[in-house]
Chain A
Amino acid sequence: MKSLTTLVERLGGINLLPVLLAIIALVLIGSPSTWLTLTIAGLSMGMMIFLMASGLSLVFGLMDVLNFGHSAFISFGAFIAASVLAALAVWVAADSVLLNLLALFAAISAAALFGLVAGWMFERVIIKPVYRDHLRQILITMGALIVAEQIILAIWGGSPVAVPRPNFLSGSLIMGDVTIEIYRLFAFGLGLVTYMALHAVLNRTRVGLLVRAGVENREMVEALGFRIDRLFIGVFAVGSALAAMGGAMWAGYETLITGAIGSEMMIIVFIVIIIGGLGSIEGSLLGALMVGLMGNYVAFLAPKMALASNMILMMAILLWRPYGLRPAVK
């Protein structure tokens, strides 16, 4: 028993959970080609959710602020990307990969830029007056979420908005029995690149060091003379930009979005950061991948239970580890 535990630890410990999940699913699903399609869909979904969740988790870790309005950035990102793509319809439909890429780049950066600016303003106006007061934080950010959702409804209307997908990303690769949508590969790649960039910034740079130290013990870092509050604004803005980016990617994935997109994703994002543990991007990634995989497998096995299964997963993990899998703060 003990040697088994050390073996599991050496292989990666709790990081193996998504793999375990995939193996169980393979047994239940039976057909390897279906399983592979679902796994890739799950991984790419997980990466998009990771984009949305990482900022929220870091913001909480650093300043003990939980932003219930986080999903507003997801929705705004999705709708702005949709509008930009619709405005650049000629480029989107063009055969040239370069023009396609330009349109996509414009859409995602417009969303991210909006997230950056709006996140900064949101922090100053909404969050700053209620630092360290959880009850009012929850209430105020909830109020802000309601207002933001209503503004989206006022601007884009209540009917679903179609999101044009760039030409080179539509269609799918077919290898034997396995069909893989190209967009999913792209989403997975972009998510992975973002994760690696975040990881590098947090672990290799001075700012990253300060952020990690701040998550660990804010008072100590402040006592050493660093302005955590300024750092926090930066993290908040970047986190919001990431959420908007995730929203933009999600819009391209769904191809038809409604005003409810933010609140739908918010539940999943909450489940992810609870599973992963607050304050660590590694935890968010782990949680996001598990939720993405679980969602896709269960959607295939028992379609009605897709959302509930993630809830059950969260409950199980909370029973086992009340602070989540890899928390940076307790």
Chain B
Amino acid sequence: MNQTTNEPHAQTRGGRTGRLIAYGLIGIIAICLFFAPLLFPDVRSQEVAARICIFIVLVASYDLLIGYTGIVSFAHTMFFGLGAYATAIALKQMGPGWDAVIIGGALGVGVSVLLAALVGLLSLRVKAIFFAMVTLAAASVMAVLASQFSDFTGGEDGIIYKVPKIFSPATKLLTDENGKVLTIFGVKANGKMAAYYFVFFGSLILYFLMLRIVASPLGTVLEAIRENEMRAEALGYKVVLYRTAIFCIAAAIAACAGILRAVWLKYTGPETTLSFAIMIDILLMVVIGGMGTMTGAIIGATVMSVAQFYLKDLMQLASEATAGIPLVPDLLDPDRWLLWLGLLFILLVYFFPAGIVGTLARKGHHP
């Protein structure tokens, strides 16, 4: 599960407690997410919980690329968006039914894999840095296309649609003997809950799938490529093919996360799926959690999502408190929160390149 368990030098006392702390945190997060509809019944917290589930998948799949294989892609939101848009367009055109979700989702995943294979085979054979540029260009072209072909995509406004009936708030998931909706701890077991558990279990399945991939021989080969490309090639592994394969797998998983997002939000637009801001979020989450650790994705996504909600409130207060000083209130404006996240990001990459999980697990060791 965790790559560090295979490294003998990590088996130190500090490393062991660190890992215990990390697993403890993950346990708490998992319990909170599982009982989220009961523990945090208000709408805003529900949004945060669903967002965390989806981003854990997204971040973990990105970590397959950046952390396990050592390739930097900026096109992850492109695949996320393809999955979401395909589902959204199918739901809009075919009406709210499971057939639309399945057909749209399958199309989204298929197109994502195809595109990933194309981009990968074209640009993964040269330097990794080329790949970063090509994916950045591809992602922004996709974002422009999505806003231009507004007949299908709704342009900047996005698409609003209905989802399968079981997810609508009026649906009675469980009924008591009077035929009314059953309440558990004061929370109604309605369609909203069903939607949340759809997202939760969907994310869980995808996450376990990724754990399996990482532990498989494929995962080991990928780590070998990350550590020493030449040696991996010399051992007979076709580096380009392995890289392209993992890029396609990550793209498919990101597209699946997009489907979950589309079904949960009942809305798909550039801001929620394709925008570069989301790519930055993913990058930050991976770096905060720790690159090359599947567990890091959980912690990174949770810390960032929670922080985003409170950082803005905090900045609002700070901005009002410094109203008299020139420029400072502008810098502390809640709209400028990306500035501070950017600074945090730079500092993290400098001083804690291993992230939270990496630092905890390898305490006292320099990676």
On A, residues with C-beta under 8 Å from B are 60, 66, 68, 126, 129-130, 134-136, 138-140, 142-147, 149-151, 153-155, 158, 263, 266-267, 270-271, 273-274, 304, 307-308, 311, 314-315, 318-319, 322-323
In the complex, A129 Cα to B346 Cα: how many Å? 11
- Asked if B123 is an interface residue, CB under 8 A from chain A, the answer is yes
Select from chain B the residue with minimum beta-carbon distance to A129.
B350
Using Cβ atoms and an 8 Å threshold, which residues of chain B touch A314?
Answer: 134, 137
Whether B136 and A267, one on each chain, are in contact in the complex, defined by CB atoms closer than 8 angstroms, is yes
Whether B128 and A143, one on each chain, are in contact in the complex, defined by CB atoms closer than 8 angstroms, is no
15 A-B residue pairs with Cβ-Cβ distance under 8 Å, sorted by A, are: A129-B350, A134-B129, A135-B66, A142-B280, A143-B345, A143-B349, A146-B280, A146-B339, A146-B342, A151-B339, A154-B333, A155-B327, A155-B330, A273-B133, A308-B141
Interface residue from B144, B346, B353 paired with A147 (Cβ < 8 Å): B346
Using Cβ atoms and an 8 Å threshold, which residues of chain B touch A60?
Answer: 129
Using Cβ atoms and an 8 Å threshold, which residues of chain B touch A142?
Answer: 280, 283, 345
Select from chain B the residue with minimum beta-carbon distance to A263.
B276
Select from chain B the residue with minimum beta-carbon distance to A144.
B346
Select from chain B the residue with minimum beta-carbon distance to A304.
B148
Interface residue from B118, B122, B148, B341 paired with A146 (Cβ < 8 Å): B341
Whether A136 and B353, one on each chain, are in contact in the complex, defined by CB atoms closer than 8 angstroms, is yes
Whether B137 and A311, one on each chain, are in contact in the complex, defined by CB atoms closer than 8 angstroms, is yes
Using Cβ atoms and an 8 Å threshold, which residues of chain A touch B343?
Answer: 143, 147
- Asked if B72 is an interface residue, CB under 8 A from chain A, the answer is yes
Whether A66 and B129, one on each chain, are in contact in the complex, defined by CB atoms closer than 8 angstroms, is yes
Whether A267 and B148, one on each chain, are in contact in the complex, defined by CB atoms closer than 8 angstroms, is no
Using Cβ atoms and an 8 Å threshold, which residues of chain B touch A270?
Answer: 133-134, 136-137
Using Cβ atoms and an 8 Å threshold, which residues of chain B touch A129?
Answer: 350
Whether B70 and A135, one on each chain, are in contact in the complex, defined by CB atoms closer than 8 angstroms, is yes
Using Cβ atoms and an 8 Å threshold, which residues of chain B touch A138?
Answer: 72, 129, 132
- Asked if B13 is an interface residue, CB under 8 A from chain A, the answer is no
Using Cβ atoms and an 8 Å threshold, which residues of chain B touch A153?
Answer: 335-336
In the complex, A307 Cα to B147 Cα: how many Å? 13
Interface residue from A149, A150, A307 paired with B141 (Cβ < 8 Å): A307
Provided the pairs A139-B283, A140-B349, A311-B138 are in contact, do residues A154 and B133 lie with their beta carbons within 8 angstroms?
no
Provided the pairs A274-B130, A308-B145, A318-B122 are in contact, do residues A146 and B327 lie with their beta carbons within 8 angstroms?
no
Count residues on chain B whose CB falls below 8 Å from chain A CBs.
43
Whether B327 and A126, one on each chain, are in contact in the complex, defined by CB atoms closer than 8 angstroms, is no
- Asked if B125 is an interface residue, CB under 8 A from chain A, the answer is yes
Provided the pairs A274-B133, A314-B134, A318-B122 are in contact, do residues A154 and B330 lie with their beta carbons within 8 angstroms?
yes
Most chain B CB within a 10 A radius of its CB, from A60, A153, A319: A153
Whether A143 and B122, one on each chain, are in contact in the complex, defined by CB atoms closer than 8 angstroms, is no
Using Cβ atoms and an 8 Å threshold, which residues of chain B touch A68?
Answer: 132
Whether B342 and A271, one on each chain, are in contact in the complex, defined by CB atoms closer than 8 angstroms, is no
Whether A66 and B137, one on each chain, are in contact in the complex, defined by CB atoms closer than 8 angstroms, is no
Whether B141 and A143, one on each chain, are in contact in the complex, defined by CB atoms closer than 8 angstroms, is no
On B, residues with C-beta under 8 Å from A are 66, 70, 72, 118, 122-123, 125-126, 128-130, 132-134, 136-138, 140-141, 144-145, 148-149, 276, 280, 283, 287, 327, 330-331, 333, 335-336, 338-339, 341-343, 345-346, 349-350, 353
- Tell me the smallest distance from the CB of B291 to a CB of chain A, in Å: 8
Using Cβ atoms and an 8 Å threshold, which residues of chain A touch B134?
Answer: 270, 274, 314, 318
Select from chain B the residue with minimum beta-carbon distance to A311.
B141
Select from chain A the residue with minimum beta-carbon distance to B140.
A267
Most chain A CB within a 10 A radius of its CB, from B125, B128, B137: B137
- Tell me the smallest distance from the CB of B356 to a CB of chain A, in Å: 16
Select from chain B the residue with minimum beta-carbon distance to A137.
B129
Whether A150 and B137, one on each chain, are in contact in the complex, defined by CB atoms closer than 8 angstroms, is no
Whether B342 and A144, one on each chain, are in contact in the complex, defined by CB atoms closer than 8 angstroms, is yes
Most chain A CB within a 10 A radius of its CB, from B125, B129, B276, B353: B129
Whether A147 and B342, one on each chain, are in contact in the complex, defined by CB atoms closer than 8 angstroms, is yes
Using Cβ atoms and an 8 Å threshold, which residues of chain B touch A146?
Answer: 280, 338-339, 341-342, 345
Seed contacts A143-B343, A267-B137, A304-B148; 20 additional CB < 8 Å A-B pairs: A134-B129, A136-B353, A142-B283, A143-B342, A146-B341, A147-B339, A149-B338, A150-B338, A150-B342, A151-B331, A153-B335, A155-B330, A307-B141, A308-B141, A311-B138, A315-B122, A322-B123, A322-B125, A322-B126, A323-B126
Select from chain A the residue with minimum beta-carbon distance to B291.
A135
Select from chain A the residue with minimum beta-carbon distance to B121.
A319
In the complex, A129 Cα to B351 Cα: how many Å? 11
- Tell me the smallest distance from the CB of A144 to a CB of chain B, in Å: 6
Whether A271 and B137, one on each chain, are in contact in the complex, defined by CB atoms closer than 8 angstroms, is yes
- Tell me the smallest distance from the CB of A97 to a CB of chain B, in Å: 37
- Tell me the smallest distance from the CB of A30 to a CB of chain B, in Å: 25
Using Cβ atoms and an 8 Å threshold, which residues of chain A touch B130?
Answer: 274
Whether B133 and A318, one on each chain, are in contact in the complex, defined by CB atoms closer than 8 angstroms, is no
- Tell me the smallest distance from the CB of B271 to a CB of chain A, in Å: 14
Whether B137 and A143, one on each chain, are in contact in the complex, defined by CB atoms closer than 8 angstroms, is no
- Tell me the smallest distance from the CB of B49 to a CB of chain A, in Å: 27
Using Cβ atoms and an 8 Å threshold, which residues of chain B touch A140?
Answer: 346, 349-350
In the complex, A142 Cα to B283 Cα: how many Å? 10
Using Cβ atoms and an 8 Å threshold, which residues of chain A touch B330?
Answer: 154-155
- Tell me the smallest distance from the CB of B149 to a CB of chain A, in Å: 7
In the complex, A245 Cα to B125 Cα: how many Å? 34
Using Cβ atoms and an 8 Å threshold, which residues of chain A touch B137?
Answer: 267, 270-271, 274, 311, 314
Using Cβ atoms and an 8 Å threshold, which residues of chain B touch A155?
Answer: 327, 330
Whether B122 and A308, one on each chain, are in contact in the complex, defined by CB atoms closer than 8 angstroms, is no
Whether A139 and B287, one on each chain, are in contact in the complex, defined by CB atoms closer than 8 angstroms, is yes
